Amino acid sequence: MTDPIRSPFDAAAASAAVLAERTGVARHDVAVVLGSGWRPAADRMGDVVADVAMADLGGFPESAVLGHGSTARSIANGGRRVLVFTGRVHLYEGNHVHQVAHAVRTAVAAGCGVIVLTNAAGGLRDGMQVGQALLLRDHINLTGHSPLTGPNDDRLGPRFPDLSEAYSPRLRELARQIEPSLEEAVYGGFCGPQYETPAEVHMARVLGAELVGMSTVLETIAAVHAGAEVLALSLVTNLAAGLGGEKLDHDDVLAAGAGAAERMGDLVADIVRRL
């Protein structure tokens, strides 16, 4: 199987071909990547056509993170075919940045023009509540990495992609029409896996971040580079270090995510139906 580190375009095309063969679906329209605690949302998005282990598609390492599944699910949602990744590849697991981007690149190769990214995040802005969902309007890449580093493959996208509207205004407006209470926020993406220190949280706030997490930004860059529209939803599963008064624990993050995942799954399903 083609290696996404050495040839990300060819690897994505190969994985998309395996996906079509294993699911019997020649082309998907929308891809959804589910973050920590979001897995129950996959059951709310339509009729399941097929489940394929992500590792069986090629180019995906096995995920070892609690709360992250490892399947690519093909779903029929009205006239749309939705590709749901019930887990994601993280940089902090020791993976290459091209492996982190492989899911969204595979989705684009499979025909997806819209990528919906979800994550669990720490809330920084005053008034944020655990269980609250927010739309991302922008991000700050604090990972020290980019999926575009190295020689550019024009088949993937341009050398210097514009990120001034990385998070699609059209899709954000559509989401607000469905759920008017949705607020927007700026996401600060750290590498992890350790939670941020209070000083790092303070730094992120000074820089303009209102949420912090360990995913999403690299996938967004790769998706926009490939020409896809991106919508991202963050679920506040904890208040960031130094703000909540308690130590952070991943089990608490998963529990908070599970409590809102079905509600968020309904929201994402409604968005997909209206695209």
CA dist., res. 130 & res. 257, Å (int): 9
Q: Is 215 a catalytic residue?
A: yes
Catalytically annotated residue among 120, 128, 166, 226:
120
Please tell me which residue in 28, 68, 96, 98 is annotated as part of the active site: 68
User: Among 248, 4, 199, which Cα is nearest to 102's?
Assistant: 4
| Active-site position among 238, 261, 264, 269 | 238
| Choice among 41, 63, 77, 90 that is catalytic | 90
Q: Is 170 left (phi over 0), alpha (psi -120 to 50) or beta?
A: alpha
Measure the CA–CA gap between 77 and 31, rounded to whole angstroms: 12
Residue 36 known to be catalytic? yes
In angstroms, the CA 47 to CA 248 distance is 36
| 45 in catalytic set | no
Residue closest to 146 by CA, chosen among 224, 52, 228: 224
Active-site residue, 168 included: no
Catalytic-role residue among 95, 250, 255, 258: 250
Take residue 25 and report the two structure tokens written for it.
Answer: 């679906």
Active-site choice (92, 183, 202, 203): 92
204 among known catalytic residues? no
Residue 92 a catalytic site member: yes
Candidates 209, 214, 241, 269; catalytic one: 214
Cβ atoms of residues 58 and 2 within 8 Å: yes
238 annotated active-site: yes
**CA distance linking residue 87 with residue 187, whole number of Å:** 19
Assess whether 164 carries a catalytic annotation. Answer: no
**Which residues are catalytically annotated?**
36, 68, 90, 92-93, 120, 214-215, 238, 250
